A = this chain, B = another copy of it.
């Protein structure tokens, strides 16, 4: 997707100060392509020099496609240009940018912006990150319901250049005056698609064409809800309304795609026991990443310390009783210390089967394929599945312990007890596999029921729990057979 061919050409144009060439380059290609060609290899000053040859609308489009880090650098370098650029940027993208800039830069730039834009920015600025408000843009297309289809098209022609989308048009009421004299947002009456306007007879009233059974969002809704809504309804955009059904803004399909990707990344990171990391892997702050990883590593480490106590508790029992003289009872027949060589193998099974189950269930919860109320169906299914998987592993465990146990271990097995060894390993593997899978499947559901994020029940967390339980299972099976 990178165009290595552009870069020497751009360098040449910069050297020759070929303004016409640079304008042509910016205006003839897709802004995303221009941004990509410029992003990696050029300094902020050079990028300004290239794009400033294009018209202001193209400049804004290219700027929007630069990486956030690059945008910040460029904004710091050329505040005067930023004032004009901001007026042409999409309303949600410019607020994202201003959020990232240091306070003094934001202030300096805001002084260059006219009243209306400044007010719009302030409105969007107030919404919390990861909410619908932060995704929302205020440059939607709207019409009064009293126009005819033909008049509507004429009106849209005026609005089109400045609107994020003109394919969904929002039909709004007249504004009403609040008690304090200010105007409240116009109430949303319906939505009409440009397709329906085009299809309609010229004199049809917009009011008659509009859809009034609306799916709306609140500015405080979580981003994740937007993703689910768009996936379900195949929207191009969805309106955000206040309590009085006043239209605050719209969320468009391109932002939703980014949200879906970001939410999936967040879930995967949680699942891998990393606190969510903002931004690119290579660009994220080292200490930020350290914090989100160290927290989980330490938490899991402390949890896992339980294995020391459990191991210590059982380990003593494997050795000959201190009371019994070592000469009387030969060590090789009573010490079962050799059994510990099978512990890492047996424990790992619980971690693996648990990781599978928790991954499947967590993702199914995120996609709403499974609800908390389905817990029993999940439990039954995982129990059966775990049994089937345990049986499979059991066969392997029998084969491995019977045929391939190292000689140094076999020497220590009490005479005639080789099948005891085989059954211990096999039953431990099966028991731990079952435990891991059931914990892995049920904990995410339990956690969701407690209103937590099920992805927090990460694979390593499940592995840690199943390790502690696994040691108990293992030694109890040893006790049973020896």
Contact = CB atoms under 8 A, between A and B. Distances in A.
A432 B467 CA distance: 17
A337 interface: yes
Given A195-B160, A260-B261, A272-B358, A408 B312 contact: yes
A467 B463 CA distance: 13
A331 B326 CA distance: 9
Contact of A167 (B167, B265, B294, B337): B167
A459 B343 CA distance: 20
A459 to B, nearest CB: 5
Contacts of A281: 360-361, 363-364, 369-370, 378
A367 interface: yes
A381 interface: yes
A359 B316 CA distance: 38
Contacts of A355: 272-273, 458-460
Of A36, A312, A374, most buried by chain B (CB within 10 Å of CB) is A312
A344 B311 contact: yes
Interface string A198-213: 1100000000000001
Contacts of A213: 28-30, 33
Contacts of A298: 392-393, 396
Given A272-B459, A331-B326, A290 B344 contact: no
A356 B272 contact: yes
Contacts of A356: 272-274, 293, 296-297, 460
Contacts of A344: 304, 307-308, 311, 343-344, 347, 467, 471
A253 B233 CA distance: 12
B156 A388 contact: no
Interface in A338-380: 338, 340-345, 347-349, 351-353, 355-356, 358-364, 367-370, 374, 377-378
A198 B157 contact: yes
Counted per complex, copies of this chain come to 2
A153 interface: yes
A12 interface: no
A300 interface: yes
A378 B281 CA distance: 9
B261 A268 contact: no
A9 interface: no
Interface string A230-268: 111110100000000000000001101110110011011
Contacts of A300: 348, 352
B341 A315 contact: yes
A223 to B, nearest CB: 14
Given A264-B268, A298-B396, A313 B408 contact: yes
Given A261-B264, A345-B305, A360-B274, A460 B352 contact: yes
A409 interface: yes
B231 A308 contact: no
B359 A272 contact: yes
A273 B234 CA distance: 32
Given A282-B369, A293-B385, A377-B282, A340 B342 contact: no
A280 B297 CA distance: 32
B232 A297 contact: no
Contacts of A385: 286, 289-290, 293
Nearest to A340: B340
Given A300-B352, A308-B405, 12 more contacts: A1-B368, A156-B198, A236-B253, A261-B264, A264-B264, A274-B356, A281-B360, A282-B364, A283-B369, A298-B392, A298-B393, A313-B406
23 contacts: A30-B213, A166-B195, A167-B167, A167-B236, A194-B194, A194-B198, A231-B257, A231-B258, A234-B257, A236-B253, A256-B257, A261-B367, A268-B359, A273-B356, A273-B359, A281-B360, A281-B364, A290-B388, A297-B392, A311-B342, A315-B341, A337-B340, A459-B460
